[in-house]
Structure 1
Amino acid sequence: MDTALIIGGTRFIGRHLVTELLDAEYEVTLFNRGTRENPFADHDRVDQYTGDRTSGAALKEANEAVEPDIVVDCVAYYPGEVKLAVEAFEDVGAYVYISSGAAYGPDVIPKREDETPLEPCTDDQAVDDSHETYGARKAEGDRIVFEAAEEGVNAMSVRPTIVYGPHDYTGRYQYWIDRIAEYDRVLVPGDGTNIHHLVSVYNTVRAIRTVAESGEPGEAYNAGDRTILTLQDLLEQTADAVGADPEFVTANDRELSAAGLQSTDFPLYNPDVHILSTEKLADIGWEPLSPAEAIARTVDWEGEPERDPGPDRAAEEAVLDSL
Structure 2
Amino acid sequence: MPLQQTLGVDCQTAADAGGEPHCFAGPVRERRMDSVLVIGGGRFIGRHTVTEFRDAGYDVTMLTRGRRQNPFTNAEVAHIEGDRRERDTLETARERVNPDVVVDCVAYFPEDVRVATDVFADVGAYVYISSGAAYGAERTPKREGETPLAGCTAEQATTDSAETYGPRKAEGDREVFAAAEDGVQAMSVRPTVVYGPYDYTERFAYWVDRVAEYDRVVVPSDGLSLWQMAYVEDVASALRLVAERGTAGEAYNVGDEHAPTLREWVDLLARVHETDVETIGVGERELRAAGLAPDDFPIYRDSPHLLSTAKLRGLGWSSTPHETALAVTVAEHLENDRTGREFGPDRDTEAALIDRLTE
Distance in 2 between residues matched to 1:67 and 1:259, nearest whole Å: 58
Structure-2 change in CA distance of 1:94 and 1:305 (3 Å): farther
TM-score (norm 1): 0.98
Q: Which moved more, 1:300-309 or 1:65-74?
A: 300-309
* 2:336 corresponding residue in structure 1: 303
SS at structure 2 position matched to 1:156 = strand
Q: Does 1:101 align with 2:132?
A: yes
Structure 1 residue 87: Cα displacement: 0.7
Matching residue of 2:282: 251
- Aligned-partner Cα distance in 1 for 2:127–2:282: 42
Q: How does 1:52-91 map to 2 (within 5 A)?
A: 52-91=83-122
Aligned mate of 2:219, from 188, 198, 207: 188
1:258 Cα deviation from its structure 2 partner: 2.1
Contact 2:61 2:78 in 1 (8 A): yes
Superposed displacement of residue 78, structure 1: 0.5
Question: Which structure shows the bigger proportion of residues in strand conformation?
Answer: 2
Of residues 168, 172, 177 in structure 1, which corresponds to 2:203? 172
Alpha-carbon spacing, 1:304–1:21, altered in 2? closer, same or farther (3 Å)? farther
* Letter in structure 2 aligned against 1:28: V
CA–CA distance in 1 between the matches of 2:142 and 2:168? 18
User: Residue 283 of structure 1: which of 304, 309, 314 is its match?
Assistant: 314
Give distance in 2, aligned partners of 1:184 and 1:223.
Answer: 33
Identity of aligned residues (%): 54
Residue number in structure 2 paired with 1:235: 266
Please give the per-residue CA displacement for 1:141-163, whole angstroms capped at 9, x wherever unaligned.
00000000010111000000000
Unaligned runs of 5+ in 1: none
* Distance across 1 between alignment mates of 2:63 and 2:145: 31
Does residue 46 of structure 2 align to residue 14 of structure 1?
yes
Cα pair 2:205 2:339 within 8 Å, conserved: no
Q: What's 1:117 paired with?
A: 148
Whether 2:62 is the aligned partner of 1:30: answer yes
Rounded Cα–Cα distance in structure 2 between residues aligned with 1:98 and 1:305: 25
Task: Describe the SS at the equivalent of 1:300.
Answer: helix
Amino acid in the other structure paired with 1:320: I
Residue of 346, 350, 357 corresponding to 1:312: 346
Distance 2:67 2:337 in 1: 19
Alignment of 1:203-214 (within 5 A): 203-214=234-245
Which amino acid is 1:285 matched to? G
**1:122-161 equivalence runs, <5 A:** 122-161=153-192
Aligned to 1:39: 71
Which residue of the partner structure matches residue 36 of structure 2?
4
8 Å contact from structure 1 (residues 157, 220) kept in 2: yes
Q: Equivalent residue of 1:87, what SS?
A: helix
Equivalent residues of 1:169, 1:306 under 8 A apart: no
Report deviation, 1:304.
Answer: 4.0
Shift of 1:305: 4.4
SS where residue 123 of structure 1 aligns? coil
Structure 2: gaps of 5 or more residues: 2-33
The answer to whether the 8 A contact 1:197-1:228 is kept is yes
